[in-house]
Structure 1
C-alpha cells in the first residue's frame, strides 16, 4: 500500500525517472546512506534499489568523516487519488432455467502526503570532501556486493520528506448478486421448483498513518569503484557506476540478451524483438487451451499491479536466478500466481526454464508499465485487437506506416490504442488511408517495453 502510493507519487512528479520511490516504511533513508542498486534480468527493466544500514562514512578508510553541506527547500503539497471501477451483469434464459449474475468491484487509493520538503547535498563540496578518499575494500558490505552479480553502489544525494503527519487510505468494495430459478416436470407430473437469490459483498478500508520526517523518495549518485578502492562519483544521469573487474577497464553495459544499451531507439527495438523471437515462438507453440487460459489470466492480472510484481519476483527468485531472496505474496496474489504457474510448469524439467523465461518476459514488461498503461492494454487484450497492435509494433520497429484497410481499427479501438501508445511515448496518427507511428521521446525504454508486451500477448493469441 505504501509502496504503491510512493510509486504513484514519483510517476506524477518526476518524468525524468531520477527519483526512486521508497518501498517500505522500515527503510531508513538519510543523506549519504549507502544504497545497493541491483541490475535486472532484462536490460530494459528498472533496477531494484536496496537501502543498507550503512552510511558513506562507514565504508571509507580514515577517521575524518565527511560532513556534507545540506540545503532544505519546500517541494510541493501532494494529494493523489487513484482507483478503478468494474461493473458487469449477465442474464441468461434457458428452457427450464433463468440465471442472473451481477458483479461490482471498485478500489481507491488516496495518498495525502501534505506539504513536502527536499533535502539536498551540496555536490560540489561533496566532490572536494571525496578527493583522495578511498573505500575500505575489506568492508563486509563491499565484499558481499562484489561477490554478487550486477551490483552497483550509490549514495543518497537528495530526499523528499513529509513535514507533517499524513495518511495513505485504501478502500476496496467487492459485491455480487445472483438469482435464478429452475423447474423440472417429470413423466409422472411431479414438479420441482427451486428459487434462490443471494448476495456477497466484501468491503475493506485501511488507513496507514505516516509520521513526520518520513522519506518517500530519494535520488542517488552512483560510484565507479576501482579495485584499489579509489572511486569516482557519477554525476551525470546517463553515467553508470559499478565495480572494476579483474583490473580491466569496464566495458559498455550489455543486456542479458546481449543488446548494447547505446543504440538508436528504433534500431534497439528492432534488434531486441529479433533476439526475443524464440520466446515469442515458445508462447505461440503452446497448446491452444493453455494459450487461451494464460492470456485470460494475465489480462485479469493487469488489474492488480502488485500481483504482477509478485509474480515477476517469484519467477526470478525460484526459477531464473535462485538465491536472490524470498518473496511472500499475499494470499490473494498467491492464488493468482499459482493459477498461472500451474498452466506452464511442465512435467519435464528440461522444458521448464525456457517456457518460464518466456513467461517472465511478459510479466517483466507489464511490471515496467504504469497503472494507466496496464488498464488500456487490458482493454485491448483480445485476439482481434492484438492482431492490429502487433501490426503497429511492426510500424514502430521498422519506422513504417500501416494501411487502414489492413487493420480492424474501429473508432473505439483507435482511441484506446492511441492512449496506450501515447503513455509509452509513441504517437499514433491517422493520415489519409494510413496510420503512422512516431517515438516522441527517445530517452528511456517505454516504447521497447510496450512492443515486447504486445508481441508476447499476441503470441498467446496466436496473432502472427
Structure 2
C-alpha cells in the first residue's frame, strides 16, 4: 500500500521526470543526502531498473576528507491524493457456442494524506567542485562488490521529498454484483470482486497505515561514471548513464547471445523497452517475431530432465498467485544469473518464502558447491538457470488478475489447449474454434477465464463466423508479450504432467 501511494505521488507530480518512489518504508532511514543508491539495470528488456539504497554515503567510500554538501531545504507542497475507481463491466461474448452475459460494479479508493511536504536539494555545482580530483576507495567492500556486478551503477542521492507531520494512507475497497454466472470485475487496482452463480455478493475492506514524520517518499539520484583508477564523474544529463569502466577491453561481459533483443546489457534495456512497446489495435501475430527469438530458452525448459521439469512446474503452480513469492524467486535468479550467490536465508523473508527459495535452488541444483551444478554455466544464455529466470521474470510482470486466472489453467489438458490457442493466434492472428486441440476451452468456465486472462493483458478476443481473433487493446505496453512468454514457458514445463 505504501509503494502504491508513493508511486501514484511521483506519477502525479513528476510523470516524465527523475523522481524515484520509495517502495519500502524501511528504506527511508537510508536516504540521507549523498547516500549511495545502487541502480541495478535490468536483465530482460521488459524489466525496469531496481534501486537499492545502501547503508553508506559517498564520503564513506572516498579517499581523504568527507564531502560536506550544501543542502537547501524548502517547503514543497501539501499533498492529499484520492484515487477512486468506479468500475463497471459487461461481457457479452464467448468461445464457440458458449455465450456470456455478465455484469458487475465496484469501487476502489486509495487515499494518501501526506500533508505538508518538504524538499531538500544538494547544491550540484558545489558537489561538482568538491568532487574534483577525488578518488573512490577501490578497496572498500561496497565498491568491490558493486564493481563485480557489471549491471550495477552507483548513484548519489541529490534530492529527497519527505513528510513533516504524522500522516496516513487508507485503502477502501467496495464491490457488488449480480449475474447468471461467475464474474470478476477488473480494474487498475487489481481488485477482484467475485459473484456466485445466480446470486449477489458484496465485499468491503478498509486498511489504514500511519506514516511518521520525516519519512522520505521520493528521491532522485546522480549516477557516477567510475574510472579504472578510482576517479569518478557526475552524470549531470538525464541521458548520460553511469557505470564502472572495464578493467580491460577483454573484460568478461554478461553473455549476450544472438537473442540480444531479449537479454540486454544494462543501459540498452531502456532503449529496447521503448523500441519494442507493442502498438495498440494490432493482431497478436505482431509478437511472433519477438517470441521466435525466445525459442531457445523455452526449449531449454522442455528439455529439462522429467523430475526437474515436474518439480519446477509444481513449484510455480504453487506460487503463481503469490506476488511476494514470485518476487523472491525473481530476485534469487537475478542474482544467480549475474554471477552472485544470494543467501537463501534472507532474514526479511517469511518462512514460506524461504521454503519456496530453497525449493527452487534444490530443483535447479543451484545449492551444490560443484561449479557446474551451482550455476557456473559456460554459456548463460543456454542454461536452465537463465531459462527459468526468463519464465519467472515474465510471470512477475503479469498483473495480479492475470496470474489469478492463469492458475486455473495449470492442469495438463487446459494448459495444452491454452498454449495451442496462443500458438495459433501468434501465427495468423486468428484460429478456428472447431480445432480439436482447443476443445478444453469450449465450456462456460474455460471461456470466461480465457477472456479474462487475455483482457487482463490488454488483449481483446473477438468471435466472427466461427473464428476467434485476438487484437491488442489501446496502449497495451508489454503485457501481451509477457503473457505469451508465461503461457508458453509453463506449457514447456507442463509436458508430461
Q: Shorter-chain TM-score: which interval?
A: 0.5 to 0.7
Alignment of 1:159-308 (within 5 A): 159-166=160-167, 210-227=211-228, 229-236=231-238, 239-246=240-247, 258-259=260-261, 261=268, 262-263=271-272, 264-265=275-276, 273-286=291-304, 291=309, 294-308=312-326
Are positions 1:29 and 2:31 aligned together? Answer: yes
Q: Within 2, Cα distance between the matches of 1:51 and 1:351? A: 32
Q: Note if contact 1:385-1:413 (Cα within 8 Å) is conserved in structure 2.
A: no
Counterpart for residue 4 of structure 2 = 8
In 2 relative to 1, CA 210–297 (structure 1 residues): closer, same or farther, beyond 3 Å? Answer: same
CA RMSD of aligned residues (A): 4.9
User: What is the deviation of 1:332?
Assistant: 2.1
Question: How big is the shift at 1:152?
Answer: 0.3
1:403 aligned onto 2:401: no
> In structure 2, which of residues 55, 66, 70 is the aligned counterpart of residue 67 of structure 1?
70
* Alpha carbons of structure 1 residues 161 and 394: separation in structure 2 relative to 1, 3 Å: farther
Assess if the C-alpha contact under 8 Å between 2:60 and 2:66 holds in 1.
Answer: no
| Contact in 2 for aligned 1:152/1:223 (Cα 8 Å) | yes
Aligned twin of 2:493: 460
Equivalent residues of 1:19, 1:218 under 8 A apart: yes
- The aligned residue for residue 456 of structure 2 is 420
Task: Indicate the SS of the match to 1:133.
Answer: coil
Does residue 430 (structure 1) correspond to residue 430 (structure 2)? The answer is: no
Aligned to 1:183: none
Residues 1:323 and 1:10: Cα distance change in structure 2 (over 3 Å): same
**TM-score when scaled to structure 2?**
0.61
What does residue 130 of structure 1 align with? Answer: 128
Q: Distance in 2 between matches of 1:364 and 1:282?
A: 16
> Alpha-carbon deviations, 1:250-300, whole Å to 9, x = none?
9x9986864453444179966664444233223224566765664344233
Q: Which deviates further from its counterpart, 144-153 or 408-417?
A: 408-417
2:385 paired with 1:374: no
- 1:77 corresponds to 2:80: yes
Matched-pair contact (CA < 8 Å) for 1:77–1:114: yes
1:46, 1:368 within 8 Å by CA — same for their partners in 2? no
Number of the residue aligned with 2:350: 330
Query: Which consecutive residues of structure 1, in runs of 5 or more, have no partner in the other structure?
Result: 82-109, 171-205
Change (3 A) 1:119 1:275: farther
SS of alignment partner, residue 403 of structure 1: strand
The one of the two structures with greater contact order (alpha-carbon pairs below 8 A, sep at least 6) is 2
1:226-267 per-residue CA deviation (whole Å, 9 max, x = no partner) reads 44624242543x65321222487x9x9986864453444179
Match of 1:25, SS state, is: helix
Q: Residues 338 and 385 of structure 1: is their aligned pair in 2 closer, same or farther, counting only changes over 3 Å?
A: same
Select 1:365's aligned residue among 391, 394, 400.
394
The change in CA–CA distance for 1:420 and 1:360 in structure 2 (over 3 A counts) is same
In structure 2, C-alpha distance between the alignment counterparts of 1:290 and 1:442, rounded to whole Å: 34
SS at 2:223 equivalent: strand
